[in-house]
Amino acid sequence: MDLRGRTALITGGSQGVGAAMAKRIAKAGGNVVIHGKSEDGFANETVDTCRAMGVEATLICSDLTLPIQDTLRVLSPESHPALSQVSLLVNNAGVFLDSSFLEMDETTWCKTFRINVEVGYFLTQAFAKRWITDGTAGRVLFTGSINGLLAEPEHTAYDASKAAVGGMVRSLCVALAPHRIRVNSIAPGLVRTPLTNQILDARPDVLRWMELHTPNGQVPDAEVCGGLAVFLLSDEAEHIHGQTIFIDGGMSIWQQPDLPIA
């Protein structure tokens, strides 16, 4: 799959799933603008890896909890000229804040929806306006989650936000497909990242539980998300619109026995 001549903006692209997508886009020949909360070792490693593949890679750091208009101003061609070439938008930034329903507070709820839903919605709107004016066949990819389909009692805000992503993708597809703009999402299950590896290394029982509850018995590396992202952003996916593709080893379709972890 060939993304040469394309430039992608990946929010939350400095580490984890976002970094995996940025690296696979670069491997396919696409230039990348990587957004992260701060410039750290993960962010610099991602940028350096992409540049080593012979593409242009730019790092932009900002806090996505700021008012939407501030985020749109920071992530605009007027602030960063590299963004003037963007024709691929990957809305990957997200937060996973633990709180049960009975303990949920407004601050946690609003922060979850601001980053997981609102930022992607309004970034898509901003880029779509430019693409429609320029006649650009843009492509948008959101990162959803298996939690948008399967519920967990301790993650009610996160679950609701990822369900919202799925609905938003369908609505944006209907709005933007007539303008030759494709909108889709990927919905990962648990994947290995530096953060999740810390949890799995400390709790082998959690890893075993996940393996038992996944039909293919695997917890894959985040790179699997990168491969799917490149496909959905490529010409090969020309007729795929408004879809959420689960990448979870089959967990989301398997009716499982209740095997709680003590």
Report the length, in residues, of the chain.
262
**What is the Cα–Cα distance from 188 to 191, expressed in whole angstroms?**
7
Instruction: Point out the catalytic residue in the list 158, 162, 169, 188.
Output: 158
**What is the Cα–Cα distance from 251 to 236, expressed in whole angstroms?**
26
Q: Report whether 22 contacts 12 (CB < 8 A).
A: no
Amino acid identity of residue 245, one-letter, is I
DSSP state of 155: B
**What is the Cα–Cα distance from 113 to 95, expressed in whole angstroms?**
9
CA 62 to chain centre: 17
**What is the Cα–Cα distance from 7 to 87, expressed in whole angstroms?**
6
Is 158 an active-site residue?
yes
CA 94 to chain centre: 7
Report helix, strand or coil for 67. Answer: coil
Q: Report whether 88 contacts 25 (CB < 8 A).
A: yes
Q: Which helix (H) or strand (E) holds 195?
A: helix 194-202
**What is the Cα–Cα distance from 20 to 193, expressed in whole angstroms?**
9
- Sign of the dihedral defined by the CA atoms of residues 37, 230, 244, 122, in that order: positive
Which residues belong to the active site?
A: 158
